[in-house]
Amino acid sequence: GQNIDQPTEMTATEGAIVQINCTYQTSGFNGLFWYQQHAGEAPTFLSYNVLDGLEEKGRFSSFLSRSKGYSYLLLKELQMKDSASYLCAVLSGGYQKVTFGTGTKLQVIP
Protein backbone atom coordinates (compact mmCIF):
# COMPACT_ATOMS: atom_id res chain seq x y z
CA GLY A 1 0.00 0.00 0.00
CA GLN A 2 0.91 3.63 0.01
CA ASN A 3 1.05 6.12 2.83
CA ILE A 4 1.55 9.86 2.51
CA ASP A 5 1.79 12.14 5.55
CA GLN A 6 1.79 15.90 5.75
CA PRO A 7 0.78 18.32 8.52
CA THR A 8 -2.90 19.20 8.58
CA GLU A 9 -2.53 22.92 9.18
CA MET A 10 0.16 25.58 9.33
CA THR A 11 0.17 29.32 9.96
CA ALA A 12 2.83 31.74 8.77
CA THR A 13 3.31 35.48 8.55
CA GLU A 14 3.20 37.54 5.39
CA GLY A 15 6.71 38.06 4.01
CA ALA A 16 8.14 35.05 5.87
CA ILE A 17 9.31 31.65 4.64
CA VAL A 18 7.39 28.43 5.32
CA GLN A 19 8.36 24.80 4.75
CA ILE A 20 5.67 22.16 4.28
CA ASN A 21 6.91 18.61 4.77
CA CYS A 22 5.68 15.42 3.19
CA THR A 23 6.77 11.87 3.98
CA TYR A 24 5.72 8.89 1.94
CA GLN A 25 5.97 5.12 1.79
CA THR A 26 5.34 3.56 -1.56
CA SER A 27 6.52 0.89 -3.93
CA GLY A 28 7.48 1.68 -7.50
CA PHE A 29 8.12 5.39 -6.90
CA ASN A 30 8.21 7.45 -10.09
CA GLY A 31 7.91 11.02 -8.91
CA LEU A 32 6.36 13.47 -6.46
CA PHE A 33 4.04 16.38 -7.20
CA TRP A 34 3.02 19.42 -5.23
CA TYR A 35 -0.31 21.08 -5.98
CA GLN A 36 -1.94 24.21 -4.62
CA GLN A 37 -5.68 24.28 -4.03
CA HIS A 38 -7.59 27.38 -3.02
CA ALA A 39 -10.89 26.84 -1.24
CA GLY A 40 -13.61 25.90 -3.68
CA GLU A 41 -11.22 25.61 -6.61
CA ALA A 42 -9.44 22.84 -8.47
CA PRO A 43 -5.83 21.91 -7.62
CA THR A 44 -3.17 23.61 -9.72
CA PHE A 45 0.27 22.18 -10.45
CA LEU A 46 3.25 23.66 -8.60
CA SER A 47 6.16 21.26 -9.00
CA TYR A 48 7.31 17.77 -9.87
CA ASN A 49 10.42 16.05 -8.50
CA VAL A 50 11.82 12.85 -9.93
CA LEU A 51 15.45 12.99 -8.81
CA ASP A 52 16.90 13.91 -5.43
CA GLY A 53 17.56 17.56 -4.85
CA LEU A 54 16.00 20.97 -5.00
CA GLU A 55 13.85 22.35 -7.82
CA GLU A 56 13.36 26.10 -7.74
CA LYS A 57 10.61 28.01 -9.46
CA GLY A 58 10.27 31.63 -8.44
CA ARG A 59 9.09 31.91 -4.83
CA PHE A 60 8.43 28.17 -4.68
CA SER A 61 11.01 25.40 -4.27
CA SER A 62 10.54 21.68 -3.81
CA PHE A 63 13.02 19.18 -2.43
CA LEU A 64 13.08 15.40 -2.70
CA SER A 65 15.04 12.66 -0.95
CA ARG A 66 14.04 9.31 -2.38
CA SER A 67 16.10 7.30 0.11
CA LYS A 68 14.31 8.97 3.02
CA GLY A 69 10.87 9.06 1.42
CA TYR A 70 10.76 12.77 2.13
CA SER A 71 9.90 15.96 0.32
CA TYR A 72 9.25 19.54 1.26
CA LEU A 73 7.73 22.57 -0.40
CA LEU A 74 9.36 25.89 0.46
CA LEU A 75 7.43 29.10 -0.02
CA LYS A 76 9.38 32.35 0.24
CA GLU A 77 8.19 35.94 0.63
CA LEU A 78 4.74 34.76 1.63
CA GLN A 79 1.77 36.66 0.31
CA MET A 80 -1.80 36.63 1.54
CA LYS A 81 -2.85 34.91 -1.69
CA ASP A 82 -0.67 31.93 -0.73
CA SER A 83 -3.31 30.96 1.84
CA ALA A 84 -4.47 27.64 0.41
CA SER A 85 -4.15 23.90 0.82
CA TYR A 86 -0.94 22.32 -0.45
CA LEU A 87 -1.21 18.76 -1.65
CA CYS A 88 1.68 16.32 -1.86
CA ALA A 89 1.10 13.52 -4.38
CA VAL A 90 3.15 10.48 -5.36
CA LEU A 91 3.25 8.93 -8.81
CA SER A 92 3.95 5.24 -8.54
CA GLY A 93 3.63 1.98 -10.34
CA GLY A 94 2.50 2.01 -13.90
CA TYR A 95 1.16 4.90 -15.88
CA GLN A 96 -0.85 7.56 -14.14
CA LYS A 97 -1.70 6.33 -10.66
CA VAL A 98 -1.29 9.37 -8.45
CA THR A 99 -1.84 9.10 -4.70
CA PHE A 100 -2.50 12.31 -2.80
CA GLY A 101 -1.84 13.20 0.81
CA THR A 102 -4.68 14.81 2.73
CA GLY A 103 -3.16 18.25 2.23
CA THR A 104 -1.75 21.00 4.42
CA LYS A 105 -3.95 24.03 4.94
CA LEU A 106 -1.70 27.09 5.09
CA GLN A 107 -2.98 30.31 6.57
CA VAL A 108 -0.93 33.44 5.91
CA ILE A 109 -1.53 36.19 8.46
CA PRO A 110 -0.55 39.88 8.27
Contacts to another protein by CB under 8 A: 30-31, 33, 41-45, 48, 50, 87, 89, 91, 93-103
Residue number, 83 or 92, with CB nearest to another protein: 92
Shortest CB 13 distance to another protein, Å: 26
**Is the Cβ–Cβ distance between 109 and 14 less than 8 Å?**
yes
Residue number, 48 or 70, with CB nearest to another protein: 48
Shortest CB 25 distance to another protein, Å: 16
Length in residues, the chain: 110
55-63 contacts, C-beta under 8 A, 24 or more apart:
60/34, 62/32, 62/34
Shortest CB 68 distance to another protein, Å: 21
**Is the Cβ–Cβ distance between 5 and 70 less than 8 Å?**
no
Residue number, 78 or 101, with CB nearest to another protein: 101
Shortest CB 19 distance to another protein, Å: 20
Pairwise CA distance, residues 3 & 90, whole Å: 10
